[in-house]
Amino acid sequence: MKRSIALRTATFLGFLFLYAPIISLVVFSFNENKLVTVWSGFSVKWYGELFANDQLINAAVLSLQIAALSASLALVLGTLAAVAIVRFRRFRGKTLMVGMITAPLVMPDVIIGISLLLMFVAMQNLIGWPAGRGMLTVIIAHATLGMAYVAVVIQSRLGDLDVSLEEAAQDLGATPTRVFFDITLPIIAPALVSAWLLSFTLSLDDLVIASFTNGPGSSTLPMVIFSKIRLGVSPDVNALASIMIGIVALGIIAASIQMARTRRRLIREGG
């Protein structure tokens, strides 16, 4: 009995430690006072201020575009790299390839940002591309980071895949390309979605790498928020964060409902 109470208490304190700041942020987004730590009444005026703030809105839209494009690019490159590592057991340079793919996982973001900045500057001097730094260079930088995470996720899923399914399709006359698109991709689809979402989140959350690789007019949302909070937290930032939290919460609820429906359907079909 005492052990059960202790476990429940520890669990409650753990969740309180994790979610109390988030709840506080959401509550104070409805604060009438401009000081985010002083409650003076309920108001939604900061949400109106948020949608009137072109800087924050433009930065949010830009960040979403960069995250979506970089995650898609990282998904393609990371999946191809994972297939090469898992399916082709031995080839020259495999060890080097694995090391280069996994290096961004353990390398500090500041090192990645500096190295990419130097590479972009050298490429501009040599071939004239990219012409300056902006949205394109940030997408390339984020795709480079996201590809490493995608490769690890897809590699682990491919390692558990039953190879006999692919071999049976090839025995029936399917080409390797058709086997990949008709057999392998549908089976690893959940891992592809997870890898894309992980890469999307990493890009949307990144501050350090984007700070090194962006240019004028391409400030992402984390960069704008970081520049604003150095002068004090603005209530419209709380409103923006609350909206993002609400979108994520709705996504989690929708995914949970869909998973529950799928589980019930499988139980009915199995029964």
**Taking a C-beta distance cutoff of 8 angstroms, is the pair 176, 170 a contact?**
yes
Other Cβ atoms within 10 Å of 198 Cβ, number: 18
**Segments of the chain scoring below 70 in pLDDT:** 1-2, 266, 269-271
Residue located via tokens 């090839």? 170
Tokens of 3: 């052990």
Tokens of 169: 């399709």
Would you state the pLDDT for residue 2? Answer: 67
For residue range 53-111, list pLDDT tens digits in order: 898 899 999 999 999 999 999 999 999 999 988 888 777 888 888 888 888 998 999 99
User: Helices 135-160 & 54-87, crossing angle to 10 degrees?
Assistant: 40
CA 164 – CA 150 distance, rounded (Å): 24
DSSP state of 183: I
Would you state the pLDDT for residue 1? Answer: 63
Q: How far is CA 109 from CA 63, 103, 141, 224, 250, in A?
A: 18, 11, 11, 19, 30
Question: What's the burial of 40, exposed, middle or buried (CB within 10 Å: 0-12/13-18/19+)?
Answer: exposed
Would you state the pLDDT for residue 271? Answer: 52
